[in-house]
Amino acid sequence: MNLSQKSQRTVNAGAASVGKPPLPRPAPIGRRERRTAETRIRLFRSALQLIAERGLSMVTVGDITEAADVGKGTFFNYFASKDHVLGVMAEIQLGKVREAAAMADEGTRPIRDVMHRLVLRLAEEPGRSPSLARAFISSFLSSEEVRAVIRQHMQEGRRTIAKLVAAGQELGEIDGGLKKDKVAIQLLQAVMGTVLLWSLHERPGLESWIEDTFEHFWRSVAVSGNEQEP
Amino acid sequence: MNLSQKSQRTVNAGAASVGKPPLPRPAPIGRRERRTAETRIRLFRSALQLIAERGLSMVTVGDITEAADVGKGTFFNYFASKDHVLGVMAEIQLGKVREAAAMADEGTRPIRDVMHRLVLRLAEEPGRSPSLARAFISSFLSSEEVRAVIRQHMQEGRRTIAKLVAAGQELGEIDGGLKKDKVAIQLLQAVMGTVLLWSLHERPGLESWIEDTFEHFWRSVAVSGNEQEP
């Protein structure tokens, strides 16, 4: 599976799961809902591309609808503002956390691998460009309405990551003396801090920054003698 | 020394040190420079207070100059825009890093204590209100000009923290196998990620979030058996 197929799958999973219970895979949906979801995703992807190229302040709703090939009024059926488009990011990131939980449930890979893969996946979209990463963070900060959406998704994300931590503790990979909820918060903070600092410095790529961050994170939580990659 | 006196001292140290070599204490300056620095700090403190109360977008330059009791035109002798006022934060934070370096040079306290105190001090200003913390982060992201100032201060901050790490390695507190520059980046990322996540959740106070963050950070870098508070 190549990168673009992977992203597409995640975007669809994220969009389809809005307002549904936290299943790793969404239930099948009807044609109309599918078309609605497709338009929403097309608008999101067009916005992402333009913001990555130009920065949030240089992109209008008209630019986004033109790139997505839909009428300008259509935009407001899906999103209250430009900032709200970036709120979709929270859904996409939550989709990746659910994927990680599903992978942990399979029980075929060490939790270290599952969490390592998760942080790399979380860095994928913001890592496309520093300008895009800054736009994501700005949208977090912009309005109480957007923040409420992000907070809600992030709470589910925290709970799901805490379950990964508990699984790692049961398997003897993660120090059993640590509180799983606090470890989950540390992981989220580490990813967000990395994206923020990288978006100021811009080089090298976010991937190499996030590798260092994961190594640092894992050293802190691993049971003694289990810090290194197996 | 109470909190307000401490903050005042830091603000003055930060402002006086602009463009000067990284001394822990600024050299004496003339009356005119002192008055200029005082006006600049008064504008900064007024802006901080208003932004903490209302949020950045609800504060005008006129509000700031009125609160600081100076003419509106005066503002632009000191700052290019509202966002640039928050650029002063980078100076203030750098002043705290220099203080930590001076404390480490004295050699009377463990490096763990010096770094612990540093992260608590770094969280002081953004911790005054979630709205203020969001304004700080927004100002980081706003313009290439502001980012350039912040990058420059942050580079000096990174180098200075890396020296703290090296001192901790020499004293046998920090794992000698770690790269000091990478550890410095992890500390900055951890603080920034904590401020960002806290500013979304808003409670409890930033101080308790930052305590957890420091504990997590120290576990990752301490030599084995030295993870706990002495």
- The confidence band for B139, taking pLDDT boundaries of 50, 70 and 90, is confident
Would you state the pLDDT for residue B35?
A: 87
Burial (CB < 10 A; 0-12, 13-18, 19+), residue A28, is exposed
A206 burial level (CB within 10 Å; 0-12, 13-18, 19+): buried
Q: What is the pLDDT of residue A3?
A: 36
> Is the pLDDT score of B10 beyond 60?
no
Position B161 pLDDT exceeds 60 = yes
CB A14 within 8 A of CB A88: yes
Helix, strand, coil % in chain B, rounded to nearest 5: 75, 0, 25
- Interface mutation vs chain B, best among A142, A183, A186, most B CBs within 10 Å: A186
Residue B179 CA neighbour count, 13 Å, CB half: 9
CA dihedral A166, A91, B137, B47 (to 10 degrees): -120
- Name the closest residue on chain B to residue A225, using Cα atoms: B224
> For the whole model, what pTM was predicted?
0.81
Structure tokens at B222: 């301490």
CA distances from A196 to A142, A209, A230, B71, B191 (A): 16, 11, 30, 36, 11
Q: Which of B149, B183, B186 to mutate to test the interface with A (most CBs of A within 10 A)?
A: B186
Mean pLDDT of B42-57: 83
Q: What is the pLDDT of residue B229?
A: 52
Model confidence band, residue A8 (pLDDT cutoffs 50, 70, 90): very low
Q: Is B188 on the interface with A (CB under 8 A)?
A: yes
- Residue B19 above 70 pLDDT? no
Judged by a CB distance cut-off of 8 A, whether residue A31 touches chain B is no
Greatest mean pLDDT among A131-140, B76-85, B176-185 lies in: B176-185
Confidence class for position B112, pLDDT limits 50, 70, 90: very high
Residue A17: per-residue pLDDT:
37
Mean pLDDT of A20-26: 45
**Of the candidates B29, B156, B142, which has an alpha carbon nearest to the alpha carbon of residue B87?**
B142
Domain boundaries, chain A: 3-221
Put simply, the answer to whether B189 touches A193 (Cβ < 8 Å) is yes
**Which of A116-125, A153-162, B53-62 has the weakest average pLDDT?**
B53-62
What's the pLDDT at B6? 39
Spacing of C-alpha A187 from chain mean position: 13
- Residue B179 corresponds to which amino acid? K
Q: Does A35 touch chain B (CB under 8 A)?
A: no
Q: What is the pLDDT of residue B225?
A: 64
Q: From B100, B93, B86, select the one nearest B155 (Cα to Cα).
A: B93
Mean pLDDT lowest among A211-215, B24-28, B84-88:
B24-28
Check pLDDT > 90 for residue B180: yes
Smallest Cα distance from B83 to chain A, Å:
14
Shortest Cα distance from A7 to chain B (angstroms)? 25
User: Which member of A141, A191, A197 has the closest CB to residue B138?
Assistant: A141
Omega prior to B230 cis, within 30 of 0: no
Superfamily of domain A3-221: Tetracycline Repressor, domain 2 (1.10.357.10)
What pLDDT score was predicted for residue A60? Answer: 92
- The 3-state DSSP class for residue B81 equals coil
Residue of chain B nearest A186, judged by CA positions:
B213
Per-residue confidence at B228, pLDDT binned at 50, 70, 90? low
What three-state secondary structure class fits B146? helix
Look at residue A6 in the predicted model and tell me its pLDDT.
Answer: 39
Nearest CA in chain A to B149: A200
Residue pair A97/A161 in contact (Cβ under 8 Å)? The answer is yes
How high does pLDDT run on average in chain A? 84
CA angle B204, B208, B214 (to 5 degrees): 145
B223 touches chain A (CB under 8 A): no
Residue with tokens 């196998």: B177
CB pairs under 8 A between A and B: 90
Radius of gyration over alpha carbons of chain B, in Å?
A: 18
